[in-house]
Amino acid sequence: MSVGTAMLGACALLRSSVFAQAIAVAPQSALETGGPAAASIGELWNLMLWLGGAVTALVLAGLAWAIFRRRPADMNAEADQRPDTRGERLNDESGARGRVESGRPRSERIGVRVMVGGGIVFPTIVLGFLLVFVMRTLAATSLPSHVFAQPADPPRPGELTVLVTGHQFWWEVQYLDADPQRQFETANELRIPVGRRVIVRLAAGDVIHSFWVPGLQGKMDNIPGRTNALALEASHPGRWRGQCAEYCGIQHAKMALVVVAEPAAQWEAWATRQRSPAPAAGDSVASADRATFLTSGCVLCHAVRGTPAGGDLGPDLTHLASRLTLAAGTLPNTPGHRYGWIADPQAIKPGSRMPAVPMSPAELHGIARYLGTLD
């Protein structure tokens, strides 16, 4: 089988599976909480669910009683009683259907009590009770005012701060530090140490996006010209899928990210690797593959630290092979998917900003192999 035929077959396979969203690297559920903020939101959700269900059942029970209750045999329905026209004759509002000569009828007095009790007193008590839990949840998920800084401002000592910028249709992730030498960048993947609060500053490079990792935190918008912030904290190691929750264009549905929580020592080792430049070529084949990449159109949009590639329109590729996904959570990061994504990105993610760069099968092989070495 020729190289070209193999590539066509691989692309056809990708086209047939892309709509099925074959990737499942992590759960995306607000009901499976992994941190204190999400747990607080989950408790509020459960309270609202049970309280709302109880109120709904109570209202339906009252409605059923009003419709099906037995009435005294000598009691005429109000609509069947003779109208009282005294109010019309006296030009006042004292008259009413079914009134007696003096005082309000018993049914009307009961109705007023039910309306005041069920329409004012009861909702006030229920909503006041709920308000206490809402304020407690806001306190558990909010941040102090000093974190709302300019996007690239250095964090305070001891704070782990990440700047996440939404682009059409991917996430730029920058780990900030007071020492510029310790800063690094990745894309579509956020790794955090277990048990440590991470401040996530949110920005947008084009239109409004919304950062949402339901297993760890509520959602918050990325707004052009404004910096929002939220806190992420994982109680245990694991993976959680996040999603852009604000319609941002044709590929909004395929703008995902993965949050990975690791023990502190493991995370520090990962961060140290991420700060280093791309590994040097180990042999003549790797050198040729590197040269093929650096002479391709890829370098116009992508950066690889330690090489002349310095594009800033697309994700930083310095440690691409260490990431779990490609194309912002669209595909698992495997050699076959790298071939398909490089060869024809529009077949996988139509409307994305990555064009299909013309290249020969040999060039495709070289670029895909080189990206596979960027660990």
For 6-44, how does the pLDDT look when each residue is reduced to its tens digit (9 = 90+)? 444 444 444 434 434 445 678 888 888 899 999 999 999
pLDDT at 159 > cutoff 90: no
Output the pLDDT for position 13: 44
- Summarised one tens digit per residue, pLDDT across range 82-113 is 665 555 555 545 544 444 445 567 777 777 88
Q: Which of 332, 345, 343 is nearest to 365 (CA)?
A: 343
Match 């059942």 to its residue by tokens.
Answer: 57
Task: Extract long-range pairs of 329-333: CB within 8 Å, 24+ residues apart.
Answer: 329/23, 329/25, 329/188, 329/241, 329/254, 329/255, 329/256, 329/257, 329/258, 330/18, 330/21, 330/23, 330/254, 330/256, 331/14, 331/18, 331/22, 331/23, 332/22, 332/23, 332/25
Please check whether residue 18 lies inside any domain of the structure. no
pLDDT at 267 > cutoff 80: yes
> Domain ends where: 141, 156, 191?
141
User: Model's pTM, two decimal places?
Assistant: 0.80
Does residue 88 sit in the same domain as residue 198?
A: no
The H or E element spanning position 172 is strand 170-176
Distance CA 98, CA 110 (A): 15
Report whether 156 contacts 196 (CB < 8 A): no
> Structural domain of residue 330, as residue ranges?
278-372
Query: For strand 170-176 and strand 160-167, is the pairing parallel, antiparallel, or unpaired?
Result: antiparallel
Q: How many CB atoms lie within 10 A of CB 63?
A: 10
pLDDT at 47 > cutoff 70: yes
pLDDT at 218 > cutoff 80: yes
Cross-strand bridge partners of residue 310: 303
> Domain ends where: 275, 308, 342?
275
Percent residues over pLDDT 70 in the chain = 83
- Summarised one tens digit per residue, pLDDT across range 143-155 is 876 666 677 778 8
Output the pLDDT for position 179: 87
Please check whether residue 367 lies inside any domain of the structure. yes
Q: Which of 249, 273, 107 is nearest to 166 (CA)?
A: 249
Please check whether residue 175 lies inside any domain of the structure. yes
Does residue 218 sit in the same domain as residue 338?
A: no
Output the pLDDT for position 25: 78
Q: Residue 246's domain is classified under what CATH number? A: 2.60.40.420
Distance CA 170, CA 254 (A): 9
> Domain ends where: 215, 244, 275?
275
Report whether 336 contacts 18 (CB < 8 A): no
The chain-wide mean pLDDT, for the chain, equals 85
- Summarised one tens digit per residue, pLDDT across range 299-348 is 999 999 999 999 999 999 999 999 999 999 999 999 999 999 999 999 99
Please check whether residue 344 lies inside any domain of the structure. yes
Residues in the chain, total:
375
Tokens of 368: 């895909």
107 or 194, higher pLDDT = 194
Does residue 84 sit in the same domain as residue 169?
A: no
